[in-house]
Structure 1
Amino acid sequence: MTRLQDIVVPAIKAGVATGLAYFLGSLLPLPLGDYSYYAALGAFTVVGLFVVQSATESLQVLGSVAIGVSVAVAVQAASWSSAWSVGLTVLVCILLSALPLLGRQRTWAPVAALFVLAAGGPQPEPMALAYVVQVPLGAGVGILVNILLLAPLGLHELDRATNHVLTILPEEMRREAGRLVAASEGEALLPSSTGPSPALAESRGRLRLAVEQARRARRGNLRTRLPPHPGARSLARAGAVSRCAAALEAVSVVVAESAAARGQSGARLRRQAAAVLEQAAETFEGALRPGQHHDSMDRSVREIDHLLEQVRSTPGDAGLDHVLFGALAVTIRECLMVLQQSDLLGGERPGG
């Protein structure tokens, strides 16, 4: 979806839902029909949500509104409007709406109570009844419009989070490559610079959240039952990128465990591992520009094979180098295979 669609489609849906809710609300017998703008308000609160989410939150709205209206009517019957009665009403509403079942819609309770106190007058019952009837009516209209008019799939947020991780992965690979080059020259890695970077961990966390939201958006969504199954490729792409990010975090741990080079063989291993990461970074950058880096995968595979050959010939006095850099080579290769299998890159599946 383009950015323009992300703005225009929700605007059209909100306009249709609120207008239809207002019209239906005005058809109710008086005095309920005089409060049809509450139906429009109820529709607006849920029309932009996911299908299952909108149904759940409409029930939460109903529960919160019922609490607020009940408290306001009770206070109005026992006293007159004053600073004390208004404050007491809001206090009681907040306490009663703290139920976990009401979720984020708990704020409706004090809002509904204040509406009744402000506009209900000495006889708030008609307005209170209209509030309880019209808001759920509008929420129902919003759910229906959500189902029939392109219910959101959360694809814009998902693709944006995926692309953000894809832009960070090459940077992180080059960062690890630079550390290995330094280690090949006999420099010890500083403890503060070891391990996965906060930027990678944070972006991967946002991607996991976007994947979860996109999966929730597919539940009960009729658009997912129509070919070509909107969002299926975006979810597969996001899952592949998330697994690659996890693999790179593992690579960071491997690099962190490697000490400064011991002799020429250790230096060669670290330089070749750096070359693997540099070439893999170029291949990952091709995932953002499909069709422009068909040869990049082949070069990555050759660099990985070269590293594995060096690992096999590593002398026994090199410590754990053969284990660490063998793990690095296999991890990067598996990560490239994930990209290939998820149709993010063209060409053949990496061998080795």
Structure 2
Amino acid sequence: MSMQEESVARRLREAPRRHPLLPLAAKAAVAAALAWLVVQPLRGSADDYAYYAPLGAVVAVSSRLAHSMRLTVEAVLAIGLGALLAMGVRAAPTPEVLSIAIVVGLGTVLGAWKRVGSMASWVPISGLFILIVGGADPTRYVLAYLGLTALGAVVGVLVNLAVPPMPLIATDNVQNSLRNVLADQLDGMADGLERSPLPTPEEWREGEAVLRSQSERAQELIGQLVDVPRINWRARRWQGPAEHQRQRGQALRDLTILVEEMKSVLAHDEHAELERVALGPALRPSAARALHCAAEALRSVEDSEVDESSLDAAMQAAEGFAEAIRRQRAEEQVDAFAAGALVNTLRKVLVSLTPDEESHESAPDVR
């Protein structure tokens, strides 16, 4: 194989990792096409409303096998509720505009029922379809809408059973993104210490919503990996990588907690509204350098392996910060509880990046 062919083959192999929606899009396309073919031999209502089968198939092809089964049930239930609502409104002698308002209003309320789950919006939408598109024969339309959508959803579930999804690529991408967000937060804290005047408590806490959202998304995907082995025949093949991602997910969750602790210390004890701050001008430069180095070490992680030179530099910077705290405490006879909490939390961040055999060694407390 020539170098050019190898390059093309490599790009094709890496395409799912770079574009994780491609496998899902391919499965959705196949499921929709199969659902369409399945209803073609049918007669009656299927001739007029065959397009509802691909719709159900696309709904069912989701990122999780168990989730796709639940979505199928929720979709059928939502359509059924919308159908009952629309049929009831049609039977009442009300003006058309009032009927539409009732279907949308009550449909939205009914959609809040927990059994409907993520398909809540389908209740008022299906009700409107049946009310407006159903025409002179709403019963026939309801049966076609409900039956063909359910049939297509079953096709989608079968496609997922044949090629069950493994959320490894999505989890890997989200974890890498979370690591970058954590590094950005460390750099942001360092930049804040280099500012004059200092950030306000609210400014110190900027970015927490993004950090928490990214962390929750990562934990959600890890939860999917936990569910996968129960019904996914591909799980055994990917058991090693999945376990690796679960361990990395736990480490990132711990890192998130530690970074939030540091932001909390700075927001509470190091801002312009205080007369006496935790660090002060003497400690801020070493603290900022330690945070910048920690961010660089975090960004150097690749496949859970940190670059040793970046980690060594971060460890030295953290020790320099700790030494500055000891020196200030000895010279000025002041407490250093907040500063000590910050440096010890930073050390925990760095220890979490070390190999397993080193992670049990703890640095001395400076407080």
Equivalence for 2:269: 257
CA contact (8 A) 2:194 2:285 kept: no
Aligned counterparts of 1:267 and 1:120: Cα–Cα separation in 2: 74
Matched, 1:237 2:248: yes
Equivalence for 2:190: 174
Equivalence for 1:212: 219
Equivalence for 1:123: 137
- SS at 2:120 equivalent: helix
1:318 to 309, 333, 345: 333
1:162 to 162, 178, 184: 178
Cα deviation per residue 1:276-320 (whole Å; 9 max; x = unaligned)?
334323322323698784222223323434444555563285321
Equivalence for 2:78: 64
Aligned counterparts of 1:277 and 1:94: Cα–Cα separation in 2: 49
Counting only pairs closer than 5 Å after superposition, residues 77-96 of structure 1 correspond to structure 2 as 77=91, 82-96=96-110
Equivalence for 1:17: 31
CA drift at 1:198? 1.0
CA contact (8 A) 1:283 1:293 kept: yes
CA contact (8 A) 1:214 1:235 kept: no
Aligned counterparts of 1:110 and 1:195: Cα–Cα separation in 2: 42
Distance 1:24 1:277, change over 3 A: same
Aligned counterparts of 2:57 and 2:344: Cα–Cα separation in 1: 53
2:147 to 125, 133, 146: 133
CA contact (8 A) 1:224 1:230 kept: no
- SS at 1:340 equivalent: coil
Distance 1:286 1:311, change over 3 A: same
Matched, 1:110 2:155: no
Higher relative contact order (CA 8 A, sep 6+): 1
Counting only pairs closer than 5 Å after superposition, residues 177-192 of structure 1 correspond to structure 2 as 177-178=193-194, 190=198, 192=200
TM-score relative to the length of structure 1: 0.77
2:205 to 185, 197, 201: 197
CA contact (8 A) 2:222 2:249 kept: no
CA drift at 1:162? 1.3
Distance 1:300 1:84, change over 3 A: closer
Query: Which letter maps to 2:206?
Result: P
CA drift at 1:35? 3.0
User: Sequence identity, in percent?
Assistant: 25
CA contact (8 A) 1:173 1:248 kept: no
CA contact (8 A) 1:286 1:293 kept: yes
Distance 1:65 1:156, change over 3 A: farther
CA contact (8 A) 1:52 1:216 kept: no
Distance 1:109 1:195, change over 3 A: closer
Distance 1:316 1:254, change over 3 A: farther
CA drift at 1:20? 1.6
- SS at 2:238 equivalent: coil
Distance 1:214 1:241, change over 3 A: same
CA drift at 1:137? 1.8
Distance 1:33 1:197, change over 3 A: same
Gaps of 5+ in 1: 183-188
Matched, 1:277 2:284: no
Query: Which letter maps to 1:245?
Result: T
Distance 1:334 1:29, change over 3 A: same
CA contact (8 A) 2:192 2:199 kept: no
Aligned counterparts of 1:209 and 1:316: Cα–Cα separation in 2: 44
CA drift at 1:37? 2.0
CA drift at 1:212? 3.2
CA contact (8 A) 1:275 1:303 kept: yes
Aligned counterparts of 2:348 and 2:54: Cα–Cα separation in 1: 53
Number of residue pairs matched by the alignment:
335
Equivalence for 2:345: 331
CA contact (8 A) 1:21 1:43 kept: yes
Distance 1:252 1:5, change over 3 A: closer
